[in-house]
Amino acid sequence: MNSDEAVAVVSTTHLLPQSEAVFLEAGIGTWRWDATSGAFQLSDDGIEMLQVRDDELPLSIDTIITQILNEDAAEFQAAMSELVSAPGLIKVDFRALLEDGGIRWYRAIGQSYASADATVTHAAGVLLDVTSQRSAEQYYDAFFQQPNGLHLVASIDGEIRLTNSAWQLVLGYTEAELRAKKILDLVHPQDLEVTFKEMGKLSKGMNVLYFENRVRHKDGSYRVIAWSAATAERESVICALGQDISQEHAARRGLFQAAAVFKNSGEGILISDTDGRIRDVNVAFSRITGYSREEAIGQSTNLLRSGRHDADFYADMWRTMQKDGVWRGEIWNRRKSGTVFPELLTISKIDGPDGGYMAIFTDISQLKETEEQLQKLAHYDPLTNLPNRFLINERLEHGVRRAQRRSDRLAVFFLDIDGFKNINDSLGHLAGDRLLRATADRLRNVLRDDDSVGRIGGDEFLMVLDDIRTYDDATTIAEKIIGVLRKPMILEGRSISVSASIGISIYPDDGQTAETLMSNADAAMYNAKDQGRDTFRFYSEHLTRQAFQNVLIDSALREAIARKEFRLAFQPQVNTEDQSLLGLEVLLRWHHPPLGTVSPTQFIPQAERTGLIRDIGHWVLEQSCKQGSQWIADGLQFGHLAVNVSAPQFREEDFVDRVHQVLADTGFPPEKLELELTESVLVRDTERLIESMHKLRALGVMFAIDDFGTGYSSLSYLKRMPIDRLKLDKSFVDHITSDDSDRSIAGAVLALGEAMGLPVIAEGIEHEEQARVLQSLGCKQFQGYLYGMPMYGPRVEVLLRAHKEGDN
């Protein structure tokens, strides 16, 4: 290289954009090597560039090689060997480890000269500091490979030479597929003329242009692409950057236009050092995040953290970065305003003495919103906004798996609106749509929060009901649904009443899979249609009969009090020590003309589910006190009356007042009234219920805990309650003569009663042997068939008069 060439190198350096941090002015040194003496001379600039110490002078090539990094030494030595072996020109890049510990890139350019016999006599050249240029190349490579825009290098005639991964993301083509094409092969026929014209401008010397055209996707469709295109200097190639849907990008001019792209990119770009301190940001960064360039520079990249990702997320990110040199993914960041937004982020590691990272990101908030809308369209019925067939089936499958784990029951309801086609045909499809929306709203309102309802097509709806403990639960819900759908609605100015047919299948009885349960519920729905519509059917005929029995009982219960179908029976409670009568437990009996005698085990739970138990319980209390007052007036002694109180009845806000009123109206002595509560009553609102018990105890009313040992037993609560007796449940008495566990439990209850100073009465005594075992355990109070069957009033009076005469 002669001095003119060296000057050319200098002037080229001065053409670099001085204002950009990624392009620094290159230093230049000169060198000369003499073959005869082996002396290696380096100019003062070169000595300063390589930081050669005085004790290392005079220099030799070996001295220079000791400063070169090992991975670059072989290439440097090969170049030097080539230079001294024959006349010629060499150029080699290498990294040198400097005295101050830094590492920089250098380029050695040299020419060797020979004598007449072709023997090399000497060589000379220049030494350039190209650290900035190499760093800029790395910036360029990192940017080119980002998937945020369509990057393209093509020949002037349109032959594709190089593309990035965004082509596959946006247009579906791999790099291999594109290498076999020309850019004009992908352009819409109607846009060929303008594209050819614009490319022609480049070939005629116009270095940069901007235009839009339509480019064919691999699937045959077209995308509108906005192109920024440029020709590289002294190269017969076009460099282009494309953005889908007309996003603007500044044109690039080869390697020296990378900074312009950085500034004008539509994506946010951030450059940081190795410690995560922000060095520079572009305009799009400020537009997206709200932080100005001045506010961002010098801050930690943590400035943008949203708090949505944990430490493990960032640890995985940086592990990938250190391993692969790049990380791509979605992340949530926070704007200056405090709002959190999603972005598509690519972080690339920047090698070189300065090091650091480049982050390029795109705000994908709108894309996320679109994804959510598409997700909703894929899983929800657009008319009713209910889950569609796909989603409700997914929930059913999930419900089946959960029921399997918990050993629970699950109900599937298949509902079809009766006569929907007639409504569509007579009132129009708009009215039909309004009917479907109204039906959806009513179903949502009547079901529990944990239940699911979906529209699976036409006028058909599917419901998934978790945690169905009994078949009666499913019956109750089916009745509510049919009842609420019967209510009139206004369609096209008319009051219209509709009905529905429901089929019910129960897991696990009617199927073990979602598909089977849905199919069986569908079959049951058609059975309901065949039975006259406006009704429901279980897949199992037995369950259907039981359900309708419960429906009939429910209807009859509502009229039983008014029709005076209830009667009170009384069962004696005795003290076996002296065979005295302690009292009478009041038992409710129901005889319905068509149904006959209905067992309390059947109608009491039904009354509790429907809420009728409150009115029935109040009637029992009132009639018991009235009967007791009559016996007292007749001079008959019966001890006390034990009246059962249900949980819903006792939890009523005015229960204490109602008891007080009944006692006042009937004149029944409070000290002769014993209210029997089950342990389950005390599960909820315990403090308030204890307070109510104390208020009634202040009147003189006694309390017994019924079915003790079968429910909720908390000694800390029991000792605070004004309890007068514990009742040992019949389930512990039935097998007490043969079951050691029952005998142990009975003994424990009796021991607890003694410790608390409470008598224990055993109920359900039917055999002498049971009584003997209990007596051996210390029990003295008994109730059961062995000591007296439940009797209606007239027979009780006979018993009481006999006791009275015996006492006389």
Q: Is the pLDDT at 253 greater than 70, yes or no?
A: no
| Residues 89-136: tens digit of each pLDDT | 888 888 888 888 888 888 888 888 888 888 888 888 888 888 877 765
Looking at residue 367, its pLDDT comes to 73
Tell me which DSSP letter residue 384 carries: T
| Residues 55-75: tens digit of each pLDDT | 777 777 777 888 888 888 888
Looking at residue 787, its pLDDT comes to 92
Question: What pTM value is reported for the model?
Answer: 0.42
**Spatial CA neighbour of 547 closest among 461, 617, 646, 477:** 477
Looking at residue 545, its pLDDT comes to 64
235 in Cβ contact with 203 (< 8 Å): no
445 in Cβ contact with 484 (< 8 Å): yes
Looking at residue 42, its pLDDT comes to 83
Residue 318 Cα to chain centre, angstroms: 27
Written as six digits, the tokens of 350 are 């920047």
Q: How far apart are CA 417 and CA 500, in angstroms?
A: 4
384 in Cβ contact with 436 (< 8 Å): yes
Q: How far apart are CA 9 and CA 30, in angstroms?
A: 12
Give mean pLDDT, residues 528-549.
76
Burial class from Cβ neighbours inside 10 Å (0-12, 13-18, 19+) for residue 382 reads exposed
Q: Is the pLDDT at 256 greater than 60, yes or no?
A: no
**Cα distances (angstroms) measured from residue 513 to each of 397, 467, 517, 539, 768:** 7, 16, 6, 15, 52
Whether a cis peptide bond, with omega within 30° of 0, leads into 17 is: no
* Bridge partners for 642 per DSSP: 585, 674
Looking at residue 104, its pLDDT comes to 86
DSSP string, 283-295: HHHHHHH---HHH
584 in Cβ contact with 637 (< 8 Å): no
Q: How far apart are CA 328 and CA 104, in angstroms?
A: 29
Angle at 514 between CA 511 and CA 516, to 5 degrees: 45
Q: Is the pLDDT at 542 greater than 70, yes or no?
A: no
705 in Cβ contact with 693 (< 8 Å): no
Q: Is the pLDDT at 261 greater than 70, yes or no?
A: no
Determine the straight-line distance between the first and last CA of the chain, rounded to whole angstroms: 145
Residue 123 Cα to chain centre, angstroms: 73
Looking at residue 246, its pLDDT comes to 38
Total Cβ atoms within 10 A of residue 38: 11
Using DSSP's 3-state secondary structure scheme, residue 719 falls into coil
Written as six digits, the tokens of 301 are 């990249």
Looking at residue 711, its pLDDT comes to 55
Looking at residue 636, its pLDDT comes to 93
DSSP string, 171-207: H---HHHHHTSBGGGGB-GGGHHHHHHHHHHHHTT--
Q: 745 versus 611: which is more confidently predicted? A: 745
Using DSSP's 3-state secondary structure scheme, residue 492 falls into coil
Q: How far apart are CA 572 and CA 315, in angstroms?
A: 76
Using DSSP's 3-state secondary structure scheme, residue 438 falls into helix
Q: What percent of the chain has pLDDT over 70?
A: 86
Q: Is the pLDDT at 14 greater than 60, yes or no?
A: no
Looking at residue 232, its pLDDT comes to 60
Quickly list H helices, 93-243.
131-144, 166-171, 175-179, 192-203
Total Cβ atoms within 10 A of residue 129: 22
What value does the mean pLDDT of the chain take? 83
Looking at residue 666, its pLDDT comes to 96
Q: With bands split at pLDDT 50, 70 and 90, how would you rate the model's confidence at 401? A: very high
Q: How far apart are CA 779 and CA 777, in angstroms?
A: 6
CA dihedral (91, 93, 94, 98) positive or negative: positive
Tell me which DSSP letter residue 497 carries: -
Instruction: Write down the residue that tokens 């077209």 correspond to.
Output: 222
Give mean pLDDT, residues 293-297.
90
Looking at residue 143, its pLDDT comes to 57
Q: Is the pLDDT at 254 greater than 70, yes or no?
A: no
| Residues 611-655: tens digit of each pLDDT | 888 999 999 999 999 999 999 999 999 999 999 998 888 888 899
Looking at residue 20, its pLDDT comes to 30
* Bridge partners for 455 per DSSP: 461
Q: Is the pLDDT at 412 greater than 90, yes or no?
A: yes
Q: How far apart are CA 713 and CA 723, in angstroms?
A: 13
Q: How far apart are CA 715 and CA 237, in angstroms?
A: 90
Q: Exposure pattern of 70-97 as b/e (b: 16+ CB <10 Å)?
A: eebbeebbebbeebeeeeeebebbbbbb
Q: Is the pLDDT at 551 greater than 90, yes or no?
A: no
Using DSSP's 3-state secondary structure scheme, residue 586 falls into strand
Least confident of 54-58, 419-423, 550-554, 764-768: 550-554
Q: Is the pLDDT at 558 greater than 80, yes or no?
A: yes
Written as six digits, the tokens of 665 are 């109206």
Q: How far apart are CA 610 and CA 615, in angstroms?
A: 11
* Bridge partners for 590 per DSSP: 566, 598
Q: Is the pLDDT at 544 greater than 80, yes or no?
A: no
Q: 83 versus 793: which is more confidently predicted? A: 793
Looking at residue 81, its pLDDT comes to 84
**Cα distances (angstroms) measured from residue 630 to each of 386, 667, 746, 800:** 61, 10, 37, 13
**Spatial CA neighbour of 640 closest among 694, 690, 700:** 700
Q: With bands split at pLDDT 50, 70 and 90, how would you rate the model's confidence at 4? A: very low
Give mean pLDDT, residues 336-341.
89
| Residues 149-194: tens digit of each pLDDT | 777 788 777 788 888 888 787 888 888 888 767 888 888 999 888 8
Q: How far apart are CA 128 and CA 31, in angstroms?
A: 11
**Spatial CA neighbour of 531 closest among 517, 518, 544:** 544
List, as own/partner pairs, every contact residues 334-338 make where C-beta atoms lie below 8 angstroms and the sequence separation is at least 24, other chains included: 334/304, 334/305, 334/306, 334/307, 335/288, 335/289, 335/290, 336/289, 336/290, 336/291, 336/295, 337/290
Q: With bands split at pLDDT 50, 70 and 90, how would you rate the model's confidence at 375? A: low
Looking at residue 252, its pLDDT comes to 34
Q: Is the pLDDT at 255 greater than 50, yes or no?
A: no
Using DSSP's 3-state secondary structure scheme, residue 490 falls into strand
Which span out of 297-311, 509-523, 630-644 was modeled with the highest average pLDDT? 630-644
Looking at residue 32, its pLDDT comes to 87
